[in-house]
Each structure stands twice: as C-alpha cells, then as structure tokens.
Amino acid sequence: MSAYDLVGRSVLVTGGAGGIGEATARLMVLRGARVMLADRVERVREVADAIAPGTGWVVADVCTTDGAAAAVGAAVAYGGGLDVLVNGAGWDNPALFCDTSSTLWDQIIAVNFTSVLGCCQAGLPHLGANRGAIVSIASDLARVGGWGEAVYAGAKAAVVAFSKSLAREVARDGVRVNCVSPAITRTAFEQRMREDPVGVRIVEGAIRATPMRRAAEPDEIAEAIGFLASDAAGFVTGQVLSVNGGVVM
C-alpha cells in the first residue's frame, strides 16, 4: 500500500457536480476511498453514477449551516465516519467592483467562504475522531488579487486565513488543514467566463501571464488535493499549495 492510497477512507467532496470537485472524487475513488459528493444541483447524481457504481451523492446547499450539516451527515452515514473533507464548492460572477451589488457580494461570500465554515464546523467532531484532513480550494487571487474579481479574491483570502487559524486550533487533535490554490483551470466555469466580456479578459489575461501558457486541467488540481488528503502529507498542515503553472511564484 502506498502512502498516497486512501483505501477505506470516508471522503466528502463539496461542489462535486463538476470541475475540480468531480476530478477529485474520481481520483479518490480510484485510490480506494468511499466518496460522498455534495452539490446543490441535481446533476450530482449523474456525476456520482458516472464515477463508479455506488459512489455516494447528496443534493445539499452547503452555503447554509443546515445544508452543510446534511452533507456531512450523509458522508458519515455512507462511509461509517469521516476522514477527509474537501471544500470544493466555488462560484464567481466577474465584474468590476463598482458595478457589483451587495446581493452579489453575499452570494460570492456564501459559496466560497461560508460553505467552508459550515462544513468544517459540522465535520470536525468526526474528523477529530479519525485524525482526519481538511483540504479547501482557495485561489492564487487570494495572494495577488484579480481584476474583475475583487470580492471573489477577498473570499478566497478569507479561506486561506481561516484554514491557517483552524490548523493551529486542531493540530493537537490530529486533524490537518490545508489549502490547494489553483490559477485558471479548464472547467465549465472557465467556459462560462469566456461568454462574458469581463470574464474573457480575465481568462485570456491569466493564460498569457502563465509561464506554462495554458490553463490547468482539473485532474492536475485533484492530484494536489489527493496528496494533502493522504498519509504522504502526514506532517503538512496550515499550508497553501499553489498549482498554477508558475503564474505566481
């Protein structure tokens, strides 16, 4: 057995209906984990069935405390506990800050940050019992900011600061807390951004600024998440692992 294996581990992946969440779930199933996908769209069932027969799924809005608790409860019931929490839910609607509304701010913060708070609080009693791991998807915009993505960048910076603080609080319980920080990634979200005048400038500018001159593939981000979830990262906590093609060094 490799230190990267996740045989017998119970894993919850939020935002599991596509993109990085789907790729992460697929990788963890291949490595032997019992995976529960959570998303607020019904498509999560189709994704789970396509990954492997018997992969768990639950429709839950993890932006709410009740939804987060329901997702965690489903994972615990399905897997007999909880060993790994992957906070993969994410969303943005790029726009210049002066053109945004408080309604949009609330939506961006809820999906990208509040969901992390709710899932971590619901999950920690189970993770502590199993000396588990939390991996949250941040963004390199948390470090450098982003044109047209001020609120999103702020929410991801909050995820980073929260994760580092939580890592200090729960280290003695044997729970590790880390972030994976992607740059632009080839997902359905990236495709939607290309349909918007602001979004297409962000995507194309990000690729031009990347030394490797391309977007990441979801599987490449999933590999980093899988590493941080595994025993291979057993002495790694409170860290942010950038997977960004060198756009930020």
Percent of the chain with pLDDT over 70: 100
Summarised one tens digit per residue, pLDDT across range 146-157 is: 999 999 999 999
Summarised one tens digit per residue, pLDDT across range 60-82 is: 999 999 999 999 999 999 999 99
Taking 80 as the threshold, does the pLDDT of residue 189 lie above it? no
Which pLDDT does position 183 carry in this prediction? 87
Residue from 57, 78, 113, 152 carrying the catalytic annotation: 152
Return d(Cα 170, Cα 163) in angstroms, integer: 10
Taking 90 as the threshold, does the pLDDT of residue 198 lie above it? no
Query: Across the chain, what does the average pLDDT equal?
Result: 95
Based on the residue annotation, tell me whether 152 is a catalytic residue of this protein.
yes
Which pLDDT does position 138 carry in this prediction? 98
Average pLDDT over residues 89-116: 97
Average pLDDT over residues 6-20: 96
Summarised one tens digit per residue, pLDDT across range 104-120 is: 999 999 999 999 999 99
> Using 50, 70 and 90 to split pLDDT, how confident is the model at 125?
very high
Which pLDDT does position 201 carry in this prediction? 87
Average pLDDT over residues 121-141: 96
Taking 90 as the threshold, does the pLDDT of residue 193 lie above it? no
Full-model pTM? 0.96
